[in-house]
Each structure stands twice: as C-alpha cells, then as structure tokens.
Structure 1
Amino acid sequence: MPVPEKNSVHKRSLLRDDVYASIRDAIVDGTFAPGERLRDSELEKWLGVSRTPIREALLRLERGGLVVSLPGKATLVAPYDPASTHGVQQVTAALHELAARLALPAVTDEQLAAMEDANACFAAALDTEDVDGALGADDDFHEVFIAASGNETIAQVLSQLTPVLRRVERMRFSSHSGRESVAQHELIVQHAREGKFDEALVAVRENWLSLPHVSPDSMAAPHNTH
C-alpha cells in the first residue's frame, strides 16, 4: 500500500471525521488505487492515530461504497463499478435537482453572483489543469443551492454519495470534456436569473447526468500487490 511520505499529519486529538476525510481523499485522488489493500498499521503510522478511529472510518467508507471488507482477510479499496456508480450518479442528480427546486424561489442576486464567481474559478482551474482546484470550485458552485435549500438531509446524503463520483469527476476535469460543465453552469445561472425555474432544474439534472461512463480498465491499477 503506498503511504504518503508525511507521517503523523494529525495530532492525537484528531477528530474521527478528519481520519475519514484523509482516507477518503487518498482513495478519491488515486493514492490508494482500486483493489489496494488498506493495512491498519500503515494507516496508523501515516495518520498518527490509534486503530479505533481508523476502523470507524473504514466502516463509513464501506457504507459509502469506497471500501470493501473481506471478513478475516483484508480491507480493500473498492474496485470501480460502472453500474453502481451510475446508480449513485442518478440519485446525486435527483438530490441536486431537489436542492435547486427548494432554493430557486428564494435565491438572491448575491447567491447567483457567488455561483458565477465559483464558475469563473472553475474555468480558470480547468485552464491550468488544476484538478483539485476545479473540484473545489465545482463544489462551491453547487453548494449555493444546497445551502439555500434549507434541507440539511440533502447535504448529509450528498456527503456520502459524492465521493463515489469523485474518481470519475477527476478524470473528467483532467480532460477537455470538463469544459462542458462551464457552459452548463452558466446556463443554470442564466435560467435562474430569468426566473425560468423549470429550465434551471433540467440544467442542474443534466449537469450531473453528463458525467462520463468510464470503463474499469481506465481507472488506475493498484500500485502494489499485497
């Protein structure tokens, strides 16, 4: 298992959410590739925490579809599964559409301006091939409707689902196809400004459903065999 060079990156007071986020992000960005074995001892050394928060994080990741546990054998990074990923994509699109439906009647000019700013940052990150920056700006764009919806359950469920799509998003935003999202974002804001809520909802849904279908072979292979 390839462990990031910097050890003990967190203090003992590390919250369990931070342990979860660290392992999740290493899976999403490909540091821990599909099929990679996750060893508790190596994760302890990397994160500088005890085994308990690590096991809790791995259980959360298993529920979220990023980790597979083989009882009595090993814990592995889940292989990329096109069918299950497509299912997550459909639910994610529906939840973002619901957030927009709840937010649009009361969305303000300032909030729409924030979406435009986020989209400008998103486009700039794509231009410089800054995938992490693009992902962050994309999150900022969609977070406006999520926050404005006033529905905390939407945010909670999306926090579980979105990481499954991150591996696909990283591939999209590292290629020219990612530019399609810039225009899709612009269309969402345009419809919202013009009060065309039905059109805006369709644009939100299509933006999420436009993520490409990726073959398992195109995902990074494990760095090592354990």
Structure 2
Amino acid sequence: MPIPAESDRALPRSLLRDDAYLALRTGIIDGTFAPGERLNDAELGRWLGVSRTPIREAIGRLERAGLVQSKPGSYTRVSPLDVREARAAQSVAAALHELAVREAVPSLTASDLRAMREANQRFTEALNARNAEAALGADDDFHAVTVTASANPVTVTVLEQVTPLLRRLERIRFSSLDGRGSVALHEQIITLCEAGDADAAGRAARENWQALLPLVDLVDAAADSQAG
C-alpha cells in the first residue's frame, strides 16, 4: 500500500521517537503497511513530519519486535506473520500478564479498578461496533493498569517486544464479535482483583491471553493449505 498522504497523518514537528514508533507500529497492525511491503525512511519521514533519525530508531525497535525485516543496503520491509513466532509470543505474553496481575493485586487502588472497568466497557462497545482499532486500544488500557501497578520494569520491557506481534492477530479477532469471551474474562479478572485473590486473578489473566491460541492455529492451517 502506498505511503498515506502527509495530510492524512501529519504529526507535530516535535514528534518524539516513541511517537514515530507507535505510529509505524499502528500502521503495520492495522494493515496500512501490508506484509512484505518495503519501507522507505525518507517517505516515512515526510509522512510523519520528522527526520530520518527517529524513523531509523523506530524501525530498529519494530525489527526487534518481529514486525519489520531489514537487510543493510538492500531493503526494509514489513514482516509476514510468522506462526512460530506468534506461538512463542503468545506463551510469553500469557505468562507475563499472569505474573503482572499477581504482583499488582496487593497494590491496586479503587481508582485502578475503576479504570479497568471503564476500559472494559469501551472494549465491549468497540467489539459491538466491530471497531478493531478501538478494541485494541481499550484492551491495551485494561491490561496496562495491572502491568503498571506491578511495578516490574522487566515485565514492561518484554511485553513491549512481544505484544505488537500478537496485536496483528487480535485485530483479526476484534474485527468481529469473536472477542466477546475476553469481556467476560476481563470482568472475572476485575472481580478477583477486587477480592484480593492474586493467584486466581493471575490464572484468569493467563486464560485471557491463551484465548489467542485457536486463532494462531487457524493462521497456521491456512499457511499449510497455501503451501500445499
């Protein structure tokens, strides 16, 4: 897909490298940049209104997250969806979100619980509207509460690396009503957190992220079918 017109996504000149990373990551997840599409630093810089330096830094982070592939002096392109990497990312994300919830429960406040409920309400509304982008944003906000409250910087760092790969899968799932099971699991997590049951809340968080496995299997089966 061609780079969008600058007027479509123009951002302030003071754009930070984190904003460039988030903009490019969103473009890959939402399909603006298709698998296999080549990425040009200069074009991306004009699109976002920044120099090539934050673009190169953002691409480096995306490459570590498995969303971009590059060969120095040859190409930089959007990675195809790798099922093996998706399985590994799902396993790590499920374990780390379980850990985050377990660690967060003792320090969660009433404000935290309200934020989780509000995020899940927005998540529900986005699913009903089949708005995948809004659903992903609300889901991010929901899980960010416990990840932040866990105060574990290693968890934050590793989740930043593995989550973008999974968001490509979740966008497919959240484009339909297939993600409705997550609404109930979110409610269960909130209830258990409020009750102070860290172990059960952690298990519910793991179950929530394991719900992606059937979608990984479908992608794997489709890839095998095409190969055959």
Write out aligned runs for 1:53-132 (5 A). 53-132=54-133
Matched position secondary structure for 1:18 = helix
- Deviation, 1:31, is 0.5
- Residue 20 of structure 2 aligns to which amino acid in structure 1? V
Matched position secondary structure for 1:36 = coil
Name 2:226's counterpart in structure 1.
Answer: none
Determine the C-alpha separation between the residues in 1 that align with 2:56 and 2:192.
45
Write out aligned runs for 1:17-36 (5 A). 17-36=18-37
CA offset digits 1:13-50 (Å, max 9, x no partner):
32122222221111111100111111223212212222
CA offset digits 1:141-185 (Å, max 9, x no partner):
111111211223322322222111111111111112110100111
Determine the C-alpha separation between the residues in 2 that align with 1:148 and 1:11.
31
Moved more, 50-59 or 79-88: 50-59
- Residue 106 of structure 1 aligns to which amino acid in structure 2? S
Name 1:215's counterpart in structure 2.
Answer: 219
- Deviation, 1:217, is 9.0
Name 1:161's counterpart in structure 2.
Answer: 162
Q: Which has the higher helix share?
A: 2
Q: Residue 49 in 1 paired to residue 50 in 2? A: yes
Q: Residue 16 in 1 paired to residue 20 in 2? A: no
Determine the C-alpha separation between the residues in 2 that align with 1:48 and 1:115.
34
Name 1:203's counterpart in structure 2.
Answer: 204
Structure 1: runs of 5+ lacking an equivalent: 220-226
Asked if the contact 2:147–2:156 (Cα under 8 Å) also holds between the matched residues in 1, the reply is yes
Moved more, 75-84 or 100-109: 100-109
Determine the C-alpha separation between the residues in 1 that align with 2:59 and 2:108.
38
Q: State the TM-score, normalized to the length of structure 1.
A: 0.89
Name 1:133's counterpart in structure 2.
Answer: 134
Q: CA RMSD in A?
A: 2.0
Asked if the contact 1:99–1:146 (Cα under 8 Å) also holds between the matched residues in 2, the reply is yes
Asked if the contact 1:80–1:216 (Cα under 8 Å) also holds between the matched residues in 2, the reply is no
Q: Residue 4 in 1 paired to residue 7 in 2? A: no
Determine the C-alpha separation between the residues in 1 that align with 2:92 and 2:65.
13
Asked if the contact 1:20–1:58 (Cα under 8 Å) also holds between the matched residues in 2, the reply is yes
With over 3 angstroms needed to count, the CA separation of the structure-2 counterparts of 1:65 and 1:188, relative to structure 1, is same
Determine the C-alpha separation between the residues in 2 that align with 1:55 and 1:179.
38
- Deviation, 1:216, is 6.5
Q: Give the total of aligned pairs.
A: 219
- Residue 191 of structure 2 aligns to which amino acid in structure 1? Q
Matched position secondary structure for 1:215 = helix
Determine the C-alpha separation between the residues in 2 that align with 1:6 and 1:85.
32
- Residue 219 of structure 2 aligns to which amino acid in structure 1? S
Determine the C-alpha separation between the residues in 1 that align with 2:172 and 2:158.
23
